[in-house]
Amino acid sequence: MEKGVTNLNRFLLEEQRKYPEATGGFTILIESIGFASKIISREVNKAGIVNIIGRAQSMNVHGEDQQKLDVYANTKMIQAIDHLGKLCGMASEENDDPIMIPEKYPRGKYLAVFDPLDGSSNIDVNISIGTIFGIYKRQDDKKSDACIGDFCQPGKDMVAAGYILYGSSTMMVYSSGNGVHGFTLDPSIGEYILSHPFLKMPESGTIYSMNEANYNRWDDSTKKFVSHLKNHKERKYTSRYIGSLVADFHRNLLKGGVFLYPEDTNNPRGKLRLLYECAPLAYIAVQAGGKAVNDTQDILDIVPEGLHQREPLVIGSKYEVEAYMKYKKGEL
């Protein structure tokens, strides 16, 4: 390793040493997620030249066509962490029920939730996609398999969350409650290198990200908020919408702004999944100084009622998110 360069493994070990009671289980878990993401990144990068893009002959739990790479990414995430002895269960956006730990492996105290390939509808057109994950602790000391109730914890109880962005470079961003840190994959050595320590989201931004084709299905408060941004007296806002949640969020994390997927007449309870998308990214946003709500409630305070609950999501810089909340409450 070059002098002055910190890779993911070294960073995790140095963080672990700050806590004498740490057993190393959490470190192994994050390292293994990083390993899985390298394999997924490799397949994403060559997806245009091998028969891995396109639709698989299946649908996921939400009735959505699964892309072949979706299925592959889900399998690799499971295989990377099911044998570590650190988990009592997993949950994935692609699976109906909790994913059990194979009988031959010991159970641990952690729960992993993940969206193995966010933005998969963009696979075939070579647009950035990502993986989102969250880590919880089981609330009891049982060594048995996890049940659905074990996963129904509010996001504020997470011990870590993060995402991997597969773009012009592959980048892993995560937080375990001590700031947000970004690591860029150096393909020449196959290592994640610390490139963005202690990321901070600007207090306000000039970018809003949302699918304005849904405008006629929004309620009046959302329409008024968007009009507020378009006619802002102090700054000029720009609309930027990729359609991959990880990519849209990552841009706003670095540059400031807001991402919205509000409720609408077609999706009265929202469209994004609380456990796999909203809560992990909300955890990152808050750790970076931002904010995330469904409409007027903090995302991290919501207790899931099931594995695949959907919520509206408004996430980004504090100024924009708080302004949105004021419109929803009728204060503006």
Contact between 192 and 34 (Cβ < 8 Å): yes
The 10s digit of each residue's pLDDT in 269-318 is 999 999 999 999 999 999 999 999 998 899 999 999 999 999 999 999 99
pLDDT bin (cut points 50, 70, 90) of residue 64 is low
pLDDT bin (cut points 50, 70, 90) of residue 65 is low
Q: Which residues contact 173 (CB under 8 A, 6 or more apart)?
A: 162, 163, 164, 165, 180, 181, 182, 183, 196, 199, 250, 253, 284
Residues 53 and 194 in one domain: yes
The share of the chain scoring above pLDDT 90, in percent, equals: 78
The 10s digit of each residue's pLDDT in 126-143 is 789 999 999 999 988 777
Residues 257 and 307 in one domain: yes
- What pTM did the predictor assign? 0.93
Residues 250 and 139 in one domain: no
Arithmetic mean of pLDDT, 41-68: 68
The pLDDT value recorded for residue 51 is 58
Residues 268 and 296 in one domain: yes
Full residue range of the structural domain in which residue 280 is found: 207-328
**Whole-angstrom distance, CA of residue 212 vs CA of residue 231:** 16
Residues 87 and 113 in one domain: yes
Angle at 298 between CA 297 and CA 302, to 5 degrees: 85
The pLDDT value recorded for residue 141 is 75
User: Is 52's pLDDT higher than 90?
Assistant: no
**Whole-angstrom distance, CA of residue 99 vs CA of residue 88:** 9
Contact between 117 and 245 (Cβ < 8 Å): no
- Into how many domains does the chain fold? 2
**Whole-angstrom distance, CA of residue 128 vs CA of residue 119:** 8
| β partners of residue 260 | 314
**Whole-angstrom distance, CA of residue 18 vs CA of residue 157:** 21
State both tokens at 193. Answer: 């290198």
DSSP string, 132-197: EEEEEE-SS---S---HHHH---GGG-SEEEEEEESSSEEEEEESSS-EEEEEEETTTTEEEEEEE
User: Is 55's pLDDT higher than 80?
Assistant: no
Instruction: Look up the CATH number of the domain holding residue 45.
Output: 3.30.540.10
